[in-house]
Amino acid sequence: MKRKKQAKVKRLLIELALSIIFGLFLFFVTTQFFFKVVDVNGYGMMPTLRENDVVLVQRYNNIKRFDLVAFKYGNDIQVRRVIGLPGEQIRYENDHLFVKDEPIDEKFIVDEINESQRNGRDFTENFPSAEGKIVKIPKDYYFILGDNRPYATDSRIYGVVSKDSIIGIVKMQLFPINEWKSF
C-alpha cells in the first residue's frame, strides 16, 4: 500500500515538473514570437505611462493612428504614440493636428492641451516650424510623438521611424500592478 502511494506521488511530481517545463517553453515561444515585455524609459509618455512602467507589446500587428508603439532607437527601446501613417501629410498648427489638411482630435491629451493654452502657450509646438509647410511621411515610415509634448524626444527631433524598427503595439500596462490598464 505504501509503495502504491509513493509511486502515485512520484508520478504526480514528474507530471508537475513536465507541466512547468512545458509551460515555461510555451511562455518563451510566445514572448519570442508574439509578445515582448518592455520597460518604459523616460517621461516622454506622461501622463499615459511613466518611467519604469512595464508594458506588454504585441508583435506583428496592423499599426493605426494613436496606437502606442515600442520601437528601437539606437540601443534603447522607446514607447511613443503613432501620429502620422505612411504616405500621409501632417502638420501641427495652434495645438491642432492636421492630416491631409483635415483636423484630427487628440482626445488622449485634451486636458493637457487646455491647461497649456490657459497658461498662454501651445502644448504641441507648430510643426514643422516653417509657416504653411507640411511633413510628408515616406512609405514604411511613421511619425511618432510622446504624450508629454513639451519634454518628449520623438519624430520632431530624430525624424520619422521606420516600420522595421517598430517592435509592436503596446497592448497593456503590467506594472505597477495598481495602475494596470489596457490600450
Give the pLDDT of residue 182.
87
* pLDDT for res 131: 60
pLDDT for 17-47, tens place per residue?
Answer: 999 998 888 877 776 778 888 999 999 999 9
* Residues 43 and 117 reside in one and the same domain: yes
Task: Please list the ranges in the chain whose pLDDT falls under 50.
Answer: none
Q: Do 58 and 19 lie in a common domain?
A: no
State residue 132's pLDDT score: 57
26 and 39 in a single domain? The answer is no
CA distance 122 to 92: 10
122 and 47, same structural domain? yes
Reported pTM: 0.81
Asked whether residue 24 falls in the same domain as residue 41, the answer is: no
The predicted pLDDT at position 109 comes to: 93
Which residue range(s) make up the domain with 15?
Answer: 1-33
- How many domains, the chain? 2
In a shared domain, residues 114 and 149: yes
